Amino acid sequence: MHDWLVVGAGLAGLAFARDAGQTGGPVTVLDKSRGVSGRAATRRVALPDGTTARLDHGARFFTARHPRTVALAEGGVREGWNAVWTRGWPLWTGAGSMSPRTPIPATPRHRA
């Protein structure tokens, strides 16, 4: 059994923390930010009129293809900290129109 200290609460740090936690030892995650997700984070700011705005900065999405990354992404969707952003892109038909979201590529794009 080990005690683990993970520096960085981005997706890689969180994935490692999850794996390390399965060894039975305590895991502490530190990050310089107030939240998690690293480069995929969303910031909420108060506007002068009292409303709030969400600002996504850095990576807009990530794609999971490796089996471990796919398992992490799908687990995050089930647990509520991750979501499928899109499964494809509009397709230009060349006739001046766009088709609905075409599953090309079919790999889902995730947003934390």
The DSSP element (H or E) to which 12 belongs, if any, is helix 11-21
Amino acid at 112: A
Would you call 72 helix, strand, or coil by DSSP? Answer: helix
Give the pLDDT band (50/70/90) at residue 6.
very high
Q: Please state the domain extents for the chain.
A: 1-60, 61-112
Over residues 78-102, the pLDDT tens digits come to 988 889 988 877 766 666 666 665 5
Q: Find how far residue 92's CA is from the centre of its chain.
A: 28
Tokens 């398992």 — which residue?
71
Is the distance from CB of 101 to CB of 89 less than 8 angstroms? yes
Over residues 19-73, the pLDDT tens digits come to 899 888 899 999 988 777 777 777 788 999 999 998 877 777 888 889 988 988 8
Q: How far apart are CA 39 and CA 101, in angstroms?
A: 26
Q: Which structure tokens are listed for 100?
A: 């609905």
Is the distance from CB of 38 to CB of 13 less than 8 angstroms? yes
Q: How far apart are CA 9 and CA 102, in angstroms?
A: 33
pLDDT value, residue 47: 94
